[in-house]
């Protein structure tokens, strides 16, 4: 059995140990030691990383009651010899801050609101607890944050005890212990009594700031996302950088930002409306002009157009406006946008040509696809020929197309 140094002292960063066994399993090369300060994944807390004789420790897991230190390459040291272990302290201390912060957060939610913590996950960027409530108000979250932060500033000791036999019953535990083996109690004086195998700082003060970032309902529970310690400081720094940049860009004081953005959005909506009105007005003029230029075809008015760099959507609007304005209109339009051609053929209610049939030869010409109804058809293809050439093809087709009674 490996002696777990982190159980008695979570602050051990360097240690020496004897190798009990070197091995390899489906997760890689590993070594087992007679004692270790490396924490293995468990209880929601991720494993420690660091070095064993200068070789990176990339994963630590408890398998069949034994702690396997997975290294990036096999250790050169033989079984029975001594190795030096160094724990990546930045990572571990961060885990201690998040883990102890979770104890406090869970304790306050349970003691003041009756919301029990169902699960805990310590993630790479933030941590979550799932609490057994379907709703959580902003006011509650703020109150909880305040109470937690007060306890943090009270600098309360966090201690561990190993009660013998049934003597754990004298402590107000949140849950009775599930294991029969020796029970390790983590005590935050006056606040929390928990059977826990994780690593914690020795006082609440070391947790640093705690901030709830968000919460969302998950079936019958609520998932609360939070950060502690350095992570909270980093989060503040990132958010501060963003608000500063926004503040400069919008020439607005930080606390006026929400209002400034709202004003911008209102203004944008107004502008969009103005543009739409202007476009509509322009369209009316264009329709008049195009119809004035129309030629006579079989007693109807033929409008032929080739356009460049014009959104298909506005072209479609123009065609609609033309055929709506004049029931005798026949519109043949080819639009080029970069290497794409778009063909539209449409008519008013009076001519009875089948535009869907009419358009097909032109679409094949440009390797295109499309179709529609007898009164209006369209399609797109490649600009393998000029728009003028396609228009000519459409006009030839119009000459040949027999009237189809619609
Ligand atoms: Zn714990």
- Taking only the tens place, the pLDDT of each residue in 20-37 is 999 999 999 999 999 999
Q: How far is the CA of 349 from the centre of ligand 1 (A)?
A: 79
Q: What is the mean pLDDT of the chain?
A: 94
Q: Alpha-carbon distance 333 to 207, whole Å?
A: 70
Say yes or no to pLDDT of 402 above 60. no
User: Which pLDDT value is given to residue 179?
Assistant: 67
User: 126 with 9, same domain?
Assistant: no
Q: How far is the CA of 354 from the centre of ligand 1 (A)?
A: 78
Q: Which residues span the domain enclosing 133?
A: 93-244
What pLDDT, on a 0 to 100 scale, did the predictor assign at position 269? 97
Each residue's pLDDT tens digit, 285-333:
999 999 999 999 989 999 999 999 999 999 999 999 999 999 999 999 9
Q: 161 and 299 share a domain?
A: no
CA 361 to ligand 1 center in whole angstroms: 75
What is the Å distance from ligand 1's center to 6 Cα? 12
385 pLDDT tier (thresholds 50, 70, 90) = very high
CB neighbour class for 16 (10 Å; exposed up to 12, middle 13-18, buried from 19) = exposed
Q: How far is the CA of 348 from the centre of ligand 1 (A)?
A: 77
Last residue of a domain, one of 55, 70, 87: 87
> What's the CATH number where 9 sits?
2.40.30.130
**d(CA 171, ligand 1 centre) in Å:** 16
> Ligand 1 centroid to 202 CA: how many Å?
12
More confident call, 208 vs 168: 208
Residues 107 and 194 in one domain: yes
Distance from residue 198's CA to the centre of ligand 1 (Å): 5
How far is ligand 1, taken at its centre, from the CA of residue 65, in Å? 19
- In percent, the amount of the chain with pLDDT more than 90 equals 87
Please list, in sequence order, all residues whose beta carbon lies within 8 angstroms of the beta carbon of residue 63, skipping any fewer than 6 positions away: 25
DSSP helix/strand/coil, 209: coil
Co-location of 333 and 374 in the same domain = yes
Instruction: Quote the ligand 1 centre to 98 CA distance (angstroms).
Output: 10
pLDDT at 405: 43
CA of 135 to the centre of ligand 1 (A): 26
110 and 209 part of one domain: yes
Please say whether the beta carbons of 104 and 147 come within 8 A. no
Choosing from 87, 111, 133, the residue where a domain stops is 87
With respect to residue 109, please indicate whether it lies within any of the assigned structural domains: yes
Q: Which of 64, 87, 110 is the last residue of a domain?
A: 87
Apex CA 297: angle with CA 369 and CA 344, to 5°?
20
- Residue 279 alpha carbon to ligand 1 centre in Å: 65
**Ligand 1 center from residue 100 Cα (angstroms):** 6
How remote is the CA of residue 173 from the centroid of ligand 1, in Å? 13
Largest CA distance in the chain: 107
Q: How far is the CA of 397 from the centre of ligand 1 (A)?
A: 81
182-196, 220-234, 245-259, 359-373: lowest mean pLDDT where? 182-196
What residues contact 256, with CB distance under 8 A and at least 6 apart? none
**Which of 30-34, 161-165, 201-205, 317-321 has the weakest average pLDDT?**
161-165
Instruction: Reply yes or no on whether the pLDDT at 97 is more than 70.
Output: yes
pLDDT value for 400: 84
CA of 33 to the centre of ligand 1 (A): 24
For residue 406, report the distance from its CA to the centre of ligand 1, in Å: 80
In angstroms, what is the span from residue 99 Cα to ligand 1's centroid?
Answer: 6
pLDDT at residue 401 greater than cutoff 90: no
- 92 C-alpha to ligand 1 centroid (Å): 13
- Cα of 150 from ligand 1 centre, angstroms: 19
List, for residues 346-359, the tens digit of each pLDDT value.
999 999 999 999 99
Residues 362 and 231 in one domain: no
- Number of structural domains, the chain? 4
Indicate whether 404 pLDDT > 60: no
Residues 33/86, Cβ–Cβ less than 8 Å: no
Of 69-73, 194-198, 389-393, the least confident: 194-198
How big, in percent rounded to 5, are the helix, strand and coil portions of the chain?
Answer: 35, 30, 30
Tokens 């029931």 map to which residue?
A: 327
pLDDT in the model for residue 165: 80
Check residue 403 and give its pLDDT: 52
**Same domain (yes/no): 177, 261:** no
Please tell me the distance between residue 296's alpha carbon and the centre of ligand 1 in angstroms.
Answer: 88
Give residue 218's pLDDT: 92
Q: Does 167 share its domain with 289?
A: no
- Do 48 and 118 belong together in one domain? no
145 in the same domain as 201: yes
Residue 8 Cα to ligand 1 middle (Å): 13
Mean pLDDT score, 234-262? 95
CB 353 within 8 A of CB 361: no
In this structure, are 231 and 118 located in the same domain? Answer: yes
Compute, in angstroms, the gap from residue 199 CA to the centroid of ligand 1: 6
- pLDDT attached to residue 406: 41
Distance 196 CA to ligand 1 centre (A): 5
In a domain? residue 405: no
Determine the distance separating the centroid of ligand 1 and the alpha carbon of 336, expressed in angstroms. Answer: 67
Q: State yes or no: pLDDT of 51 exceeds 90.
A: yes
Q: Are 28 and 130 members of one domain?
A: no
Q: Is residue 169's pLDDT more than 90? A: no
The Å distance, Cα 45 to ligand 1 centre, comes to 9
Q: Report the separation in Å between the CA atom of 101 and the middle of ligand 1, taken as the mean of its atom positions.
A: 9
Separation of CA 29 and ligand 1 centre (Å): 29
């Amino acid at each position: 059995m490996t002696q777990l140094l982190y159980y008695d002292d979570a602050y051990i960063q360097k240690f020496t140990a004897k190798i009990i066994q070197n091995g390899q399993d489906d997760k890689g090369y590993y070594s087992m030691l007679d004692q270790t300060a490396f924490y293995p994944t468990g209880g929601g807390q991720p494993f420690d990383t660091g070095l064993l004789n200068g070789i990176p420790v990339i994963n630590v897991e408890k398998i069949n009651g034994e702690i396997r230190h997975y290294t990036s390459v096999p250790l050169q040291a033989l079984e029975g010899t001594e190795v030096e272990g160094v724990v990546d302290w930045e990572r571990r201390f961060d885990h201690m801050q998040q883990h102890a912060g979770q104890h406090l957060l869970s304790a306050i939610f349970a003691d003041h609101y009756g919301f029990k913590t169902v699960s805990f996950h310590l993630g790479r960027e933030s941590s979550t607890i799932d609490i057994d409530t379907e709703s959580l108000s902003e006011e509650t979250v703020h109150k909880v944050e305040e109470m937690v932060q007060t306890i943090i500033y009270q600098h309360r000791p966090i201690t561990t005890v190993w009660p013998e036999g049934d003597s754990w019953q004298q402590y107000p535990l949140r849950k009775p212990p599930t294991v029969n083996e020796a029970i390790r109690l983590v005590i935050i004086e006056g606040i929390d009594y928990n059977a826990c195998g994780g690593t914690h700082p020795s006082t609440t003060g070391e947790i640093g700031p705690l901030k709830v970032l968000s919460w969302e309902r998950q079936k019958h529970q609520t998932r609360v996302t939070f950060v502690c310690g350095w992570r909270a400081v980093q989060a503040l720094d990132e958010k501060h950088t963003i608000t500063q940049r926004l503040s400069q860009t919008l020439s607005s004081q930080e606390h006026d930002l929400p209002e400034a953005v709202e004003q911008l959005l209102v203004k944008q909506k107004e502008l969009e409306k103005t543009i739409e009105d202007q476009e509509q007005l322009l369209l009316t003029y264009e329709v008049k002009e195009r119809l004035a230029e129309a030629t006579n075809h079989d007693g109807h008015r033929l409008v032929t157009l080739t356009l460049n760099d014009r959104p298909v959507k506005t072209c479609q609007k123009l065609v609609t406006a033309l055929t709506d304005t004049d029931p005798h209109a026949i519109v043949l339009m080819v639009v080029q946008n970069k290497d794409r051609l778009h063909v539209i053929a449409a008519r008013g209610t009076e001519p009875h040509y089948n535009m869907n049939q009419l358009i097909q030869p032109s679409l094949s010409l440009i390797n295109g696809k499309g179709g529609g109804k007898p009164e209006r058809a369209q399609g797109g293809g490649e600009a393998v020929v000029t728009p003028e050439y396609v228009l000519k093809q459409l006009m030839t087709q119009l000459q040949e197309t027999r009237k189809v009674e619609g």
